[in-house]
């Protein structure tokens, strides 16, 4: 039985809405019902017993202990993203894992809910809930965080207020999520100075029971806030012992939700059709090939001033091929080859005539109803690596070496004054090669690595390129042998990462399209960013602490990240002769992406869990601060710093683990200098009941006390967006197979 990762559903502000009392009563009734079921467990167990009660209890306790010890916690699960097959608790880095059980419990509609409370992670989604941007340790957008689905980089970007670099994946298709924070993740691709988030989709082998050759399931779910419906169907078939296939289709239809104040938030409704096809082929005993497709067709309405302005149609398709060959008899061979192609097309159609400014002249124009703006972003990727294991003079080596390449092809178009004009077309290529050796000798581990990065980007008139070598060194020690301290490990890391400028940061031009007119200035002389992180951490792993079979896991880390030549948007004045800002027809300013001397970000993260089989408790925390420093030494708040969070979770298991009841409490602290955020606390509750082998019921209440709050990352947008108020979710899943 797995354990929880840590949670957030958003930020909070104040008070319960007028309808919250009746909702709270309904919640109380549902939870009381769950408690009544739990209290009936002794009677049910007594009817099952054909042996003395004491003996049965002893056997059950032993069984629960063995199960807990065998499966332990989420921190003991192997990271799919790992190059060397290690678990989060073994990793000398800040790593987290979210498994299928946790995703089911979250009943997630958006990626934000999938990553609830994972330390150091915040998801910005604004009103377009189906599009998400991930923030790790205060860094996001333009590739600072590598978002990967089945090995495919998600590099879609659209210039806009709010989120910039977004991705589209339905939580129903995902079986696990791995997170690595900081530039120690630079073996997973160029530019990930913030970290990596890897979404792994479902496999037939995870769905089929050992004796089955086919299986299917149907899920229906209702959400009270926005009156949303989700329907999902999954089918899997084992062609033979070495070949299986799986398909999944999901449809969601959601209306506009209400915030904690009881007000409807316009433009938050959406409908989305998503699908997954995946086949796994095992050509030999030691090799495996996975071929997959993940796609979605989304639609929603964008608003301006609360009035519908644009109809949005989005189609995203990801194709992946992953091959690996691992031969225990050949310790030098653990080869992985990944190839992928992702393409996202977004069409924006104006619903009413809009007053705009011509992108070239800055003069007023009317954008007629029915005008079309198009965004077409294609990303091709190749990733190859091998790990060789050997020993020299009593020292064990895991030598990993490989290379990767990602190419972005951006094509935008549409009417003058349309939004797509401000997302420049062009091509960008980033590539790299690396070597890393993990040396282990008794109580000492040392990881040393080098990565070489190269990039080039161009459009019809501009071209730029660059390269760099980035080092990493990590030292871990396990100095104790006594029973209580044998699982205690300390580590320290210095790592660097390299991010090339994006097409938008380098090439954006033209005049601001609406409201007021002012020019955007391209900057082909942008320097790449270099992330330099120092991190000190501790891992602790211990079993049989209070009772036989229980488990305690803890990871904590302090980090200090200096991002040299940090890129951010600045406002220039035409009255400054050195700014290069011309006097235009609008207000006397210009906007341009420029380098700062650095961004300085530091913080503390904690992830811990105790599991005794009959229940679990977890505590996680993320405390973060950050600012920028200009080349002139001027200090300013960094707008991408998220809330500091502390999340506590508690779950109890009854009826031989068939019923799980629990909740989450999360405190969110206002980031320094944020103009819209407030401190707030969220409370969630859940219950999951495996009624029979073929029927599962799930219930969840998010934002139980109907708190009105906003995500501080949306503070730089044109209007304050309040997150959903109390939301009740009820789902049933029927499964069949043979």
Model pLDDT, residue 57 = 43
User: Of the ranges 196-200, 417-421, 641-645, which one carries the lowest mean pLDDT score?
Assistant: 417-421
* Sequence ranges of the domains in the chain: 73-352+369-414+424-507+528-564+596-737
Mean pLDDT, range 185-194, rounded to an integer: 82
Q: How far is 466 from 468, CA to CA, in rounded Å? A: 7
Q: How far is 622 from 609, CA to CA, in rounded Å? A: 15
Distance of CA 158 to the CA centre of its chain: 19
Model pLDDT, residue 72 = 62
Residue scoring higher pLDDT (395 or 85):
395
Q: How far is 106 from 109, CA to CA, in rounded Å? A: 9
Contact 292, 150 (CB under 8 A): yes
Kindly give, in sequence order, each residue whose CB lies less than 8 Å from that of residue 449, ignoring residues fewer than 6 positions away. Answer: 187, 434, 435, 436, 437, 471, 472, 473
H/E stretch holding 310 reads strand 307-326
Over residues 667-703, the pLDDT tens digits come to 999 998 888 889 999 999 999 999 999 999 999 999 9
237, pLDDT greater than 90: yes
Kindly give, in sequence order, each residue whose CB lies less than 8 Å from that of residue 181, ignoring residues fewer than 6 positions away. Answer: 93, 94, 95, 119, 120, 121, 136, 137, 194, 195, 559, 605
pTM: 0.88
Mean pLDDT, range 361-384, rounded to an integer: 91
Model pLDDT, residue 714 = 79
Q: Which CATH architecture has domain 73-352+369-414+424-507+528-564+596-737?
A: Beta Barrel (2.40)
Where are the extended beta strands (E) located within 486-597? 488-499, 510-511, 519-521, 529-543, 551-564, 567-572, 590-595
- Mean per-residue pLDDT of the chain: 86
180, pLDDT greater than 90: yes
Q: How many CB atoms lie within 10 A of CB 353?
A: 12
Q: How far is 588 from 579, CA to CA, in rounded Å? A: 12
46, pLDDT greater than 50: no
Q: How many residues belong to the chain?
A: 738
| Three-class SS state of 247 | strand
Mean pLDDT, range 5-21, rounded to an integer: 35
68, pLDDT greater than 90: no
388, pLDDT greater than 70: yes
Question: In this structure, are strands 598-611 and 567-572 parallel, antiparallel, or unpaired?
Answer: unpaired
């Amino acid at each position: 039985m797995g354990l929880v990762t840590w949670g957030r559903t958003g930020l909070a502000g104040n008070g319960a809405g007028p309808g919250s009392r009746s909702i709270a009563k309904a919640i109380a009734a549902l939870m009381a019902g769950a408690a009544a079921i739990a209290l009936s467990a002794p009677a049910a167990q007594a009817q099952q017993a054909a042996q003395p009660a004491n003996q049965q209890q002893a056997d059950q306790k032993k069984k629960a202990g063995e199960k807990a010890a065998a499966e332990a916690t989420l921190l003991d699960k192997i990271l799919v993203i790992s190059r060397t097959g290690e678990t989060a608790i073994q990793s000398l880095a800040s790593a987290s894992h979210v498994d299928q059980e946790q995703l089911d419990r979250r009943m997630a509609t958006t990626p934000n809910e999938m990553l609830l409370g994972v330390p150091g992670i915040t998801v910005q989604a604004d009103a377009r809930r189906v599009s998400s941007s991930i923030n790790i340790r205060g860094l996001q957008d333009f590739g600072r965080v590598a978002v990967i689905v089945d090995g495919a980089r998600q590099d879609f970007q659209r210039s806009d207020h709010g989120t910039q670099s977004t991705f589209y994946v339905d939580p129903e298709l995902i079986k696990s999520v791995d997170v690595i924070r900081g530039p120690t993740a630079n073996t997973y691709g160029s530019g990930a100075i913030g970290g990596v988030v890897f979404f792994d989709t479902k496999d037939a082998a995870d769905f089929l029971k050992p004796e089955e050759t086919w299986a299917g399931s149907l899920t229906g779910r209702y959400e009270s806030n926005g009156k949303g419906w989700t329907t999902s169907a999954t089918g899997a078939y084992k062609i033979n012992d070495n070949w299986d296939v799986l398909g999944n289709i999901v449809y969601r239809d959601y209306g506009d939700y209400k915030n904690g104040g009881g007000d409807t938030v316009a433009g938050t409704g959406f409908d989305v059709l998503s699908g997954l096809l995946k086949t796994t082929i095992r050509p030999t005993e030691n090799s495996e090939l996975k071929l997959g497709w993940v796609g979605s067709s989304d639609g929603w309405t964008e608003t301006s001033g609360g009035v519908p302005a644009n109809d949005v149609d989005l189609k995203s398709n990801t194709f992946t091929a992953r091959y690996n060959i691992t031969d225990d008899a050949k310790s030098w061979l653990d080869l992985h080859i990944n190839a992928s192609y992702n393409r996202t097309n977004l069409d924006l159609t104006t619903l009413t005539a809009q007053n705009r400014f011509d992108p070239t002249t800055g003069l007023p124009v009317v954008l007629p109803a029915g005008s079309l703006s198009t965004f077409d972003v294609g990303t091709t990727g190749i990733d190859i690596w091998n790990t060789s294991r050997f020993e020299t003079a009593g020292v064990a080596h895991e030598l990993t070496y490989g290379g990767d390449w990602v190419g972005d092809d951006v094509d935008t178009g549409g009417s003058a004054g349309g939004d797509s004009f401000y997302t420049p077309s062009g091509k960008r290529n980033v590539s790299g090669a690396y070597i890393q050796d993990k040396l282990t000798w008794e109580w000492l581990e040392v990881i040393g690595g080098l990565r070489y990065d190269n990039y080039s980007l161009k459009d019809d008139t501009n071209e730029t390129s660059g390269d760099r070598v980035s080092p990493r060194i990590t030292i871990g020690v396990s100095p104790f042998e006594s029973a209580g301290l044998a699982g205690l490990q300390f580590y320290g890391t210095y790592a660097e990462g390299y991010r090339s400028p994006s097409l938008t940061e380098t090439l954006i031009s033209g005049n601001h399209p609406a409201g007021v007119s002012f020019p955007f200035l391209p900057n082909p002389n942008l320097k790449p960013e270099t992330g330099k992180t120092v991190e000190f951490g501790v891992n602790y792993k211990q079993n049989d602490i209070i009772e036989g079979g229980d488990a305690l896991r803890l990871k904590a880390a302090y980090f200090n990240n200096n991002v040299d030549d940090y890129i951010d948007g600045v406002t220039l004045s035409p009255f400054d002769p050195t700014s290069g800002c011309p006097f235009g027809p609008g207000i006397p300013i210009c906007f341009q992406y420029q380098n700062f001397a650095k961004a300085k970000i530091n913080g503390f993260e904690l992830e811990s869990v105790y599991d005794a089989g009959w229940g679990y408790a977890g505590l996680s925390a993320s405390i973060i601060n950050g600012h920028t420093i200009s080349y002139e030494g001027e200090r300013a708040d960094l707008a991408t710093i998220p809330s500091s969070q502390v999340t506590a979770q508690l779950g109890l298991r009854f009826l031989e683990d068939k019923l799980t009841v629990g909740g989450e409490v999360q405190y969110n602290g206002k980031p320094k200098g944020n103009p819209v955020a407030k401190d707030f606390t969220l409370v969630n509750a859940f219950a999951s009941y495996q009624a029979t082998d073929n029927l599962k019921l799930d219930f969840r209440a998010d934002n139980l006390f109907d708190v009105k709050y906003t995500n501080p990352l949306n503070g730089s947008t044109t209007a304050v967006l309040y997150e959903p108020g109390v939301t009740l979710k009820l789902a049933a899943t029927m499964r069949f197979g043979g």
